A and B are shown apart, each in its own frame.
Chain A
Amino acid sequence: MAAFGATMIRAGRRFLSSLPALFGVLVFTFLLMRVLPGDPAVFFASGPNAGKEEIEIIRKQMGLNKPVPDQLMLYLYDVGRGNLGRSMMTGQLVTKDLRERLPASLELTFTALLIALLSAVPLGVLAALKPGSVIDHGVRLFCALGVCVPTFVSGLLLIYVFYYLLGLAPDPTGRVDIFTTLPPSRTGFLLIDFLLAGDIEGWWAAFRQLILPALSMALFVVAPLARITRASMLVSLGSDFVRTARSVGLPWWRIVVTYALRNAILPVITIAGIVFSTMLGANVLVEKVFSWPGVASYALDALLTSDYAPVQGFVLLMASVFVIVNLLVDILYGIADPRVTIG
């Protein structure tokens, strides 16, 4: 317990030390958005009669009539008070938009990562146990295919087969069937909220909506996870302690799972952490194809229209998520291998 407390203190210190990086990201994104060509005021003033006057109104509304340093100071002041500005695109506060959309992205990404880990780790272990065998080549082929097919292609393909042809999947429009009544929002994760509300039918509806996009995301990341499991298992299986374990006649599953896999899992956790952060931000295509109301598609739409506030808010959010995930990965290290300390 004392060791755990020490870990938490170190984790807290580590978190504080990442704050300057977050600040840097904030300022950098702010400046980058203003350097990009494209004037949001002109874009949003596109009614059939929008003229100079209207452009000026929007510019004033967005605060773009002030010099850039002033804008930056105002923005930092607002961010300090927890206000990320207002999106022109949705007309809502960015914090509200992100708060509504982040759980959708997280739920999808967690499910995808879970599917990916549950399939990648056993596949990697199998491949490592019989290197060069048919199984190994089979896993390699599967991984290669997963990586080769872009997520939107696999997504569209899954929709075509399971929704359009077979009619097994529900229509790919968002997190839940439009005719289902939503549960009261407690966590924002629909699967959890439905359970809390005791609505099993709703839970099933949400689960059915989730499975196809999660699968197409998982397919893409199975490869790195399975490959890294295989490589690291090979090293671990060839090591002295496994040889010793074998020589004393321990059952094979104990050797593989308790000794080899536990030692091989560190790099897998690292990769899983990176994969998670990447998936959360980069899976805009899956979100688009499945009309998933997540943060990535929100940020892309904002970027295309030069809607500054949401893009900046999104980058800040992603940077924070990245910091937190890295921290979690470090803590998990400590659990997987007590020799590792963070600091």
Chain B
Amino acid sequence: MSVTGTGRPLSAVAFLAFLLAAGSAQAQTRAETLRYVTGASVNTLDPNIPGTTREAFAVSLCTYDRLVSFGRKQLNGKWVFDLDTITGELAESYDVSPDGLKLTFRLRKDAKFQDGSPVTADDVKWSLDRAVTAPVLGKAQLLTGSMTSAEQFKVIDPLTFEVTLPKPDKLALPNLATVYPIIINSKLAKEHATADDPWATAWLKEHTAGSGAYKLETFKPGEQVIISRDESWNRGSVAKPASFKRVIIQSVPEPATRANLVERGDADLVIDLQASDVQSLEAKGKLKVISTPQYNAVTFVAMNNQIPPFDNINVRRAVAYALPYDDMFKAALFGRGAPLFGATWADGKPSSGAYPIPQPVKLDLDKAKDFLKEAGLPDGFSTTFSFNVGQASTAEPMSALVKESLAKIGIKVDIQKLPDAQMSTQINEKKLPFFTEGIVAWLPSTDYFYRNFYTGNQRWNYSSIDNPELVAIAQEARFEPDKEKYEDDGRKLNAIHFSVMPQIPLWQPNQDAVMAPSVEGYTYEFHRQVDYRDLSRK
């Protein structure tokens, strides 16, 4: 209370001083600032920390450089990341040896960390060693590119760095462009390493030590992050610093408020609005709306193939023909996405070896009833259908339709809405018989999807499918150098998927980026967040 007491006379004096000083205060240059609002929040500055949020990934892409990065391409008139074009970021150039076992990177001579020290091959080695050795997220990711041990990384000279692979793995190079293998200022980080924490994970969580396009200005976990551009950065596609001087990343939990902010022009960009808000903003036509189907993500109705009655293939088929796909698509997403149903496959064969592809299923209750009869359950059965609270805005209307439609063939469904942590626990423990979930792959190749989401007794194998043939083909496809043979393998996998029907792909939801008309350069990135370096203002 004494604070207010002394505050009064103080503030009177200060007020006079303020009047004198008024006018000298400079207005912020709003046009050079990008204000991005999001429902999520940034919780760490090092994307490798277990529990990192997606917003934190996006920040790390700007504060750190990687050796290489993905190019971009146009897909149906929209810019998306291109898995097949890999350009240098810290690497000026790179070579892949003819046998595919050696990747050689030549580093940029002029690249400097934000504290002014030059980026050397030693820093690269320390950073990648950290990614495969420390208890960090990078470990599991780099494993998918056959990089598992520090012995694979070698410093040739201060500006040359070499990676050795046990097998010619197609995904090794793309893996180095993902979020985790950031290049850290090793001298700075080592100063903050301790005996318990030799890789400085605790310090890097709250500090940045990178060479990225933006420097950290303020970091308030759960509220906002402000970054400002590094004028000397030249690692982008045009060898120029990023366009926006400052980027404000602000957490605004209420989606309606985010919609208001961007509509009033107070925020420049938002990517996580509710589908209904996006639709009305698009209809008003004042803002730029770029909707890109998330072509590396899929939403499913999943069935646990080990739990009766879903262990019966005919029950799964019955469900697949009893879902009201069109209504669900409209109710859940307002049609904003790429449907994965209602296709016709010529001769009943998969139309392509890509994943996912539209499935030849549609609502056909008679067919569904026949399948149920074949399964020996002509009168149906009772089950639960679960979804998590975080996805309620799309999953809730969808589950109501699932329940209504399945009731018509005698399947009684109880809808279960679970808190997110509870849902992931139950999925991990394989306790849910019937639910909806989504998957996403940073490096969306067919074999990657099948190896990670249809194999083994692990969390991401939602359907708990155990099909030796599928596993064998997917493993073989991973190292298949021949494009045509790879495509063939993909077709085989897709054919198995349809005949076994472990789970039912529904759609790929759109990423709806709503932005001020002056914002340009938005690109859909593999991490499904905004890469602020892509953006500029007209």
Contact = CB atoms under 8 A, between A and B. Distances in A.
Nearest to A61: B50
Contacts of B221: 90-92, 97
A200 interface: yes
Interface stretch (A114-122, A167-175, A215-223): A167-175
Given A171-B264, A186-B3, A200-B15, A304 B50 contact: no
B261 A171 contact: yes
A199 B7 CA distance: 13
Contact of B135 (A36, A50, A57, A198): A57
8 contacts: A42-B428, A43-B420, A49-B141, A91-B43, A92-B221, A167-B264, A173-B261, A196-B3
B253 A288 contact: yes
A48 interface: yes
Interface string A67-90: 000000000000000000000111
A304 B421 contact: yes
Given A47-B137, A196-B7, A298-B222, A40 B421 contact: yes
B340 to A, nearest CB: 20
B257 A291 contact: yes
Q: How large is the interface on B (under 10, 10 to 19, 20 to 34, 35 or more residues)?
A: 35 or more
Nearest to A50: B140
Interface string B39-51: 0010110000111
Given A42-B425, A198-B17, A198-B18, A159 B257 contact: yes
Given A178-B248, A200-B18, 9 more contacts: A47-B52, A49-B137, A171-B261, A173-B250, A174-B224, A195-B14, A198-B10, A304-B421, A306-B421
Contacts of B440: 48
Given A39-B425, A42-B428, A304-B421, A90 B41 contact: yes
Nearest to B44: A91
Given A178-B224, A179-B28, A54 B50 contact: yes
B403 interface: no
B93 interface: no
Interface in B361-416: 389-390
B422 A91 contact: no
Contacts of B248: 178
Contacts of B428: 39, 42, 55
A87 B468 CA distance: 42
A51 interface: yes
B11 A195 contact: yes
B223 to A, nearest CB: 5
B385 to A, nearest CB: 18
Nearest to B30: A179
Contacts of B224: 174, 178
A58 interface: yes
A45 interface: yes
A159 B51 contact: no
Q: How large is the interface on A (under 10, 10 to 19, 20 to 34, 35 or more residues)?
A: 35 or more
Contact of B420 (A50, A288, A305): A305
Given A198-B11, A200-B15, A88 B257 contact: no
B250 to A, nearest CB: 6
B99 to A, nearest CB: 27
Contact of A304 (B18, B41, B267, B419): B419
Contacts of B137: 47, 49-50, 54
Given A178-B35, A305-B421, A88 B51 contact: yes
Nearest to A45: B50
Contacts of A173: 37, 250, 252, 257, 261
A51 B222 contact: no
A192 B30 contact: no
A81 B534 CA distance: 47
A164 B3 CA distance: 37
A195 B420 contact: no
Nearest to B265: A171
A52 interface: yes
B344 interface: no
B7 A192 contact: yes
Interface string B150-193: 00000000000000000000000000000000000000000000
Contact of A197 (B4, B14, B252): B14
Contacts of B261: 171, 173
Contacts of B15: 198, 200
Interface string B205-218: 11000000000000
Nearest to A43: B421
B13 interface: yes
B459 interface: yes
Given A37-B422, A172-B257, A198-B15, A53 B140 contact: yes
A46 interface: yes
Nearest to A59: B50
A43 B424 contact: yes
Given A91-B205, A198-B18, A178 B250 contact: yes
A65 to B, nearest CB: 13
A186 B2 CA distance: 13
B420 A91 contact: no
A316 B135 CA distance: 32
Contacts of A57: 50, 135
Considering the complex of A and B, which 8 residue pairs feature the smallest CB-CB distances, nearest first? A198-B14, A38-B421, A306-B421, A44-B51, A90-B221, A38-B422, A49-B140, A43-B421
Contact of A291 (B252, B264, B420): B252
A156 interface: yes
B251 interface: yes
Nearest to A172: B257
